Amino acid sequence: MIKPHGSDTLNPLFVYDTEAHHKLIQEAQSLPSLLLNSAAAANAVMLGAGYFNPLTGYMNLADALSVATDLKTTGGLFWPVPVINLTKESGVKAGQRIALRDPNVEGNPVLAIMDVTAVETVSDEQLQLMAKEIFGNTDPKHPGVQVFTSLGNTLLSGPIQVLNFSYFHSDFPDTFRTAVEIRNEIAERGWQKVVAFQTRNPMHRAHEELCRMAMERLDADGIVIHMLLGKLKEGDIPAPVRDACIRKMVEVYFPKNTVMVTGYGFDMLYAGPREAVLHAVFRQNMGATHFIVGRDHAGVGDYYGPFDGQTIFEERVPAGALEIEIFGADNTAFSKKLGKVVMMREAPDHTPDDFINLSGTKVRQMLSEGKAPPPEFSRPEVAQILMDYYRSTL
């Protein structure tokens, strides 16, 4: 199986040993506490689940700045996005051992224990520099920039021991999986060549066919549909609805035992190309050998070029930095000429009118009015789930 990023074996930060776990829970009750923001909590979940291998905790300021500007830590580890614990003024001191509390679960249970190695002040200029590098802009209207620049100016760094997976296990028991669990299932299925598909949306015909194309062209054993289960921007479709849509599509339209439907606990960054590389890192960590990067991957609005998520692998990722291979895809749509979904670049004799390609706004309007998009665009079973959701929000 493909090696994890940066080490020979996966090293998740979740404490699996029952006795050690119990002792840490007990210890946490007597430790000073810090209530995390959602971004820092999501980082803890990803560290615990092994997706951020080989990191051992939150980065210090030097590493965060180095990763933002040069895509590597000060020690030389390739990494695309800072993994940090930014907060408002906390009163925490270097050398303390503290309990990190979950902002997303009632009662704010302890999510992890942290050994604080440094407490540093991040200047507004440094925040803006990191935002510009990570998101490609500093526009306060960009949802990722908006969140990142509002987290605070105090950066806590140091190793952590993770004690639970926040709300993801309880809210998505059939879908949330750690990198450890996905690796184990890939091994159990005997898959050698595995394609990963990232989604934060329900999957329409174009997404479905893109997965099928990748599997066929790569002669893959299976595909892992890996959906984001954390916080999104306002207006995005909730995770339970997306989950239902994807499961129905797989159940009806894919052969048995060729698809794993899974999810991970992370908040969407909307960081475009940088997030595409981050997605590749944790797909390698979960055992995928190939990763689909499509048009405007992890994008939002008009902040990124349509293929920036692909070209960054050629322009900014050093040779050998990642073992996972990228399957670069164009926009896919149903061709009325050919009677099937195709990549647009592979149909040079087509005009825009030869494709069935609806805007997101048009699709949302149709669904909220109880009108199903054409079956060439969306499977009727999926459209029904979405119509039910939109009508329930009226």
- Report the CATH number that the domain containing residue 25 is assigned in CATH: 3.10.400.10
Indicate whether 6 belongs to any domain: no
Structural domain containing residue 71: 18-166
- Domain check: are 133 and 189 in the same one? no
Say whether both 180 and 288 belong to one domain: yes
Q: Which domain CATH number covers 220?
A: 3.40.50.620
Are 191 and 159 in a shared domain?
no
CA-based nearest residue to 268, from 310, 229, 323, 308: 229
Residues 241 and 187 reside in one and the same domain: yes
Q: Tell which wins on pLDDT, 312 or 230.
A: 312
Domain count of the fold of the chain = 2
What does the pLDDT read at residue 237?
A: 87
> What pLDDT is stored for residue 363 in this prediction?
87
User: Is a pLDDT exceeding 90 seen at residue 358?
Assistant: no
Model confidence at 234, pLDDT cuts 50, 70, 90, reads confident
Secondary structure of the chain: what % helix, strand, coil (to 5)? 35, 20, 45
Asked if residue 194 belongs to a domain, the reply is yes
Whether 115 is in a domain gets the answer yes
| Residue where a domain terminates, one of 166, 201, 226 | 166
Span 295-320, mean pLDDT? 95
> Based on the number of CB atoms within 10 Å of its own CB, is 157 exposed (0-12), middle (13-18) or buried (19 or more)?
buried
Residues 331 and 388 in one domain: yes
Indicate the average pLDDT of the chain: 95
What residues contact 78, with CB distance under 8 A and at least 6 apart? 5, 6, 71, 72, 317, 318, 321, 322
Q: How does 212-241 read in b/e, with b if 16+ C-beta sit within 10 Å?
A: ebbbeebebbbbbbbbbbbbbeeeebebeb
Q: What is the pLDDT of residues 35-73, one digit of tens each?
A: 999 999 999 999 999 999 999 999 999 999 999 999 999
Q: How confident is the model at residue 231, as a pLDDT?
A: 84
Q: Do 155 and 183 belong together in one domain?
A: no
Residues 299 and 379 in one domain: yes
Q: Which of 207, 249, 199 is nearest to 227 (CA)?
A: 199
The reply to whether 299 falls in a domain is: yes
Instruction: Mark whether 122 and 204 lie in a shared domain.
Output: no
- At residue 105, the pLDDT reads 97
For residue 90, which of 28, 37, 165, 162 has the smallest C-alpha distance?
A: 37
pLDDT of residue 235: 75
Q: 277 and 351: one domain?
A: yes
Last residue in a domain, options 138, 166, 194? 166
Return d(Cα 213, Cα 393) in angstroms, integer.
35
Per-residue model confidence as pLDDT tens digits over 103-154: 999 999 999 999 999 999 999 999 999 999 999 999 999 999 999 999 999 9
Q: Is residue 60 part of a domain?
A: yes
Q: How far apart are CA 36 and CA 330, in angstroms?
A: 39
Answer whether residue 66 is part of any domain.
Answer: yes
Instruction: Sheet containing 332-335: give its strands across.
Output: 340-343, 332-335, 355-356
Segment 182-206 shows an average pLDDT of: 95
Confidence of residue 368 (pLDDT cuts 50, 70, 90): confident
* DSSP code per residue over 266-311: ------THHHHHHHHHHHHHTT-SEEEE-TTTT--TTSS-TTHHHH
- Of 166, 196, 211, the last residue of a domain is 166
Same domain, 112 and 238: no
72-96: per-residue pLDDT in tens?
999 999 999 999 999 997 899 999 9
Whether residue 104 lies in the annotated active site: no
Q: Catalytic residue, from 200, 212, 247, 364: name it.
A: 200
Stretch 166-174: mean pLDDT, rounded? 94
- 200 as an active site residue: the answer is yes
Per-residue pLDDT band at 236 (split at 50, 70, 90): confident
Contact between residue 292 and residue 215 where contact means Cβ atoms under 8 Å apart: no
Residue 327 and residue 236 share a domain: yes
Q: What percent of the chain has pLDDT over 70?
A: 100
Which of 108, 137, 201, 331 is labelled catalytic? Answer: 201
Whether residue 60 sits in one domain with residue 36:
yes
Q: Is residue 7 part of a domain?
A: no
4: in domain: no
